[in-house]
């Protein structure tokens, strides 16, 4: 049951109290401090503001995924439904991810931005190359299985937590009425965790300020130089992908992408500010449930999407690979470019949960396709923090759209709620206006 306060009874929230406005202001201040006072911006205490906020959110990602997935599965009467949702989600992920890879490959072939670049210090990418060298198909599969039950929560690996949650959810489903007390406890725990998230999000502006100030102060305008063209190109490509590809998918599913982006604007701005999409995951899951997606679909599709549906990362890998090959004067044959598609698709899954996953995935792809390209990663190392923001907001938008689409495929989408929220008859930032029980 949903309790909604009528529009005329709700107080108008002042613009400066809205989460996305505060994050935007903090972002602008962070950039300004980074440019004007780089010494201050690179202070470790400034950096700690951004890192601390990300750690606060990441510490509860495991519990929220576990509780949401277990609750969603345990309330399902048809066991085949869970498998059906998973198959539909994976098919969607692979199709859209392939389109993203092809777009990056196409743009990389058509647009050459290589003037004025130097190779850089190859030793700077040694750590990423070492991590990438350890990635293989067998290790990717075995890595999904945690060493211990608690180990998945300690490492914070989304896929490991998801595996445990699916197994536990099926076990709880099999208990039937005997598991009702445990199901109620998990539901209550989920609400409590979302309460913790609501508290943490209040300091999001501080996290945004610290993350942007440190990034701009360290890598700043001087570090960007002519690489700004690559950042601009990548930004244009991902925005085109969102507008055209995801826009067409949203229209086919019966909703407006533009209105959907307005609905999740807080999560998008947060992702851009902190440079990672994971901190916005719990907030996105809560909003998708309120939007009308079923708990079981949200619990399965969104966590899985963070490993299998990384549209921004896929565009980045193919575009960056072609860019590096042009900069180093290494010509890639058509066969090698087709190999990029296959390798990048596999490697993007294997890097889930790895620090610097986007860069590690790129290193792994280059190492397989042509090892001579790996040292060229040093060219774009300085701007990867800026590129990661483009990757992040593309990934979170892609996963949000995927969840709505799969919910509609499963006939698990409340179209009345969807229309109400996307038409702004309910303010998405005002949690008190909608309570699901």
* Model confidence, pTM: 0.73
What homologous superfamily is domain 14-429 in, according to CATH?
Answer: Sodium:dicarboxylate symporter (1.10.3860.10)
Q: Residue 429: its pLDDT value, please? A: 47
What's the CA dihedral at 352, 353, 358, 362 to 10 degrees?
Answer: -60
Q: Give 311 or 121, the one with higher predicted confidence.
A: 311
β-bridge partners, 434: 4
Q: Are 283 and 267 in contact (CB under 8 A)?
A: yes
The pairing of beta strand 2-4 with beta strand 434-436: antiparallel
Backbone angles phi, psi at 293, to 5 degrees: -75, 145
β-bridge partners, 2: 436
Least confident of 16-25, 146-155, 239-248, 354-363: 354-363
Q: Are 16 and 263 in contact (CB under 8 A)?
A: no
| 150 token code pair | 């608690």
Q: Which residue has the tokens 């303010």?
A: 427
Per-residue model confidence as pLDDT tens digits over 39-80: 888 888 888 888 888 788 778 878 887 888 888 777 666 667
Comparing C-alpha atoms, which of 224, 279, 372 is closest to residue 52?
Answer: 279
Consecutive H or E run containing 4: strand 2-4
Backbone angles phi, psi at 4, to 5 degrees: -120, 125
Q: Which residue has the tokens 């890879």?
A: 101
Consecutive H or E run containing 235: helix 228-240
User: How many CB atoms sit inside 10 A of residue 31's CB?
Assistant: 18
pLDDT > 90? residue 406: yes
Backbone angles phi, psi at 42, to 5 degrees: -90, 5
Integer Cα distance of 251 and 272 in angstroms: 25
Q: Which residue has the tokens 């490959």?
A: 105
pLDDT > 90? residue 400: yes
């Amino acid at each position: 049951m949903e309790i909604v306060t009528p529009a005329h009874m709700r107080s108008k929230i002042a613009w400066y109290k809205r989460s996305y406005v505060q994050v935007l202001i903090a972002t602008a201040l962070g950039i300004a401090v980074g440019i004007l006072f780089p010494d201050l911006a690179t202070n470790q205490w400034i950096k700690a503001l951004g890192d601390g906020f990300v750690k606060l959110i990441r510490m509860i990602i495991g519990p929220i995924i576990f509780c949401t997935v277990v609750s969603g599965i345990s309330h399902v009467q048809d066991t085949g439904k869970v498998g059906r949702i998973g198959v539909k989600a994976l098919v969607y992920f692979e199709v859209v991810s392939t389109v993203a890879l092809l777009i990056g490959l196409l743009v990389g072939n058509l647009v050459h931005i290589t003037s004025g670049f130097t190779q850089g210090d190859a030793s700077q990418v040694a750590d990423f190359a070492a991590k990438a060298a350890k990635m293989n198909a067998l290790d990717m599969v075995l890595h999904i299985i945690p060493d211990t039950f608690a180990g998945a929560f300690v490492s914070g690996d989304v896929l490991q937590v998801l595996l445990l949650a699916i197994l536990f959810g099926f076990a709880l489903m099999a208990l039937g009425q005997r598991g009702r007390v445990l199901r109620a406890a998990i539901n209550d725990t989920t609400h409590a965790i979302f309460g913790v998230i609501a508290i943490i999000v209040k300091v999001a502006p501080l996290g945004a300020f610290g993350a942007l100030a440190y990034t701009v102060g360290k890598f700043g305008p001087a570090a960007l130089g002519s690489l700004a063209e690559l950042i601009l190109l990548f930004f244009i490509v991902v925005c085109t992908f969102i507008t055209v590809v995801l826009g067409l998918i949203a229209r086919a599913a019966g909703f407006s992408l533009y209105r959907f982006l307005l609905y999740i604007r807080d999560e998008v701005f947060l992702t851009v500010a902190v440079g990672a999409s994971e901190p916005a995951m719990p907030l996105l899951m809560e909003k998708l449930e309120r939007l009308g997606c079923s708990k079981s679909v949200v619990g399965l599709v969104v966590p899985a999407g963070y490993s299998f549906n990384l549209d921004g990362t896929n565009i980045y890998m193919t575009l960056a690979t072609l860019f590096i090959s042009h900069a180093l004067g290494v010509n890639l044959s058509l066969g090698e470019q087709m190999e990029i598609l296959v390798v990048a698709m596999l490697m993007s899954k294997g890097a889930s949960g790895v620090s610097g996953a986007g860069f590690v995935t790129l290193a792994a792809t280059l190492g397989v396709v042509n090892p001579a390209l790996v040292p060229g990663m040093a060219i774009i190392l300085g701007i990867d923090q800026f590129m990661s923001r483009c990757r992040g907001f593309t990934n979170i938008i892609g996963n949000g759209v995927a969840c709505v689409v799969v919910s509609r495929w499963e006939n698990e989408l409340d179209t009345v709620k969807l229309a109400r929220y996307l038409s702004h008859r309910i303010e998405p930032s005002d949690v008190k206006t909608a309570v699901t029980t």
